[in-house]
Amino acid sequence: MKYLAIFSVVVVVGVFANLVNESKMLSYLSSDPKVCVNCHPMITHYETWQHSSHRDRATCIDCHLPRDTFVNKMLAKARDGYHHSVAMTFKTYGYNLRISADAAKRIQDNCISCHRENVSQMLANSALYEKVEDSGVQMGRRCWQCHRDVPHGTMRNLTATQNNFSVKVF
């Protein structure tokens, strides 16, 4: 019985180590944008970001994760990672990725954080000409409603010429 218990523990540890290795789990602790292309559906987003004006100024985590505290960043990363792994495992993401309400709020907050001067000027101008809605969204819109192609271009569909991109995932 003792040997069976030891063998079982060794098997569980081995399976977990293989899972960590195969899923490149430890790479997700990095802030390198190439980590995002561990998942095939993110190739389009990574490649279009590579050719955007944000490439030299912002990485994936600068836009998609909270910037207030390290704990909030890690919690969001873990939560998103869990949802992404479930979606990738069971192929429930479809051809067009959709942003969650929580992620949309984080991105909106990060856009405003980086572009604070422009946003404050727009708000000042909008106060002169139209009512600003009190919905947590300045002027009733998200930044990407006007800036649709920033920073991921016009390619939205995951079936968009994947093999023509320079980033290859093995």
With CA atoms as reference, report the closest residue to 108 among 153, 143, 150.
143
Alpha carbon distances (Å) from 25 to 19, 146, 168: 8, 36, 19
Report which of residues 102 and 99 the model is more confident about.
102
**CB of 151 closer than 8 Å to CB of 48:** yes
- Map out the domains of the chain with their CATH numbers: 31-164 (1.10.3820.10)
Average pLDDT, the chain: 80
Torsion of CA 37, 43, 48, 50, to 10 degrees: 40
The pTM is what? 0.70
Alpha carbon distances (Å) from 89 to 25, 40, 83, 93: 14, 12, 10, 10
- Tell me the C-alpha distance between 170 and 143, whole Å: 35
Q: What is the pLDDT of residue 122?
A: 79
Report which of residues 27 and 133 the model is more confident about.
27
Q: What is the pLDDT of residue 170?
A: 41
- Tell me the C-alpha distance between 170 and 80, whole Å: 23
Report the interhelical angle of 70-90 vs 101-114 (nearest 10°): 140
Q: What is the pLDDT of residue 5?
A: 95
Q: Token pair 């909270």 is at which residue?
A: 66
With CA atoms as reference, report the closest residue to 137 among 119, 115, 151.
119
* Residues 6 or more apart in contact with residue 119 via CB below 8 angstroms: 111, 112, 138
Q: What does the pLDDT average to over 31-48?
A: 79
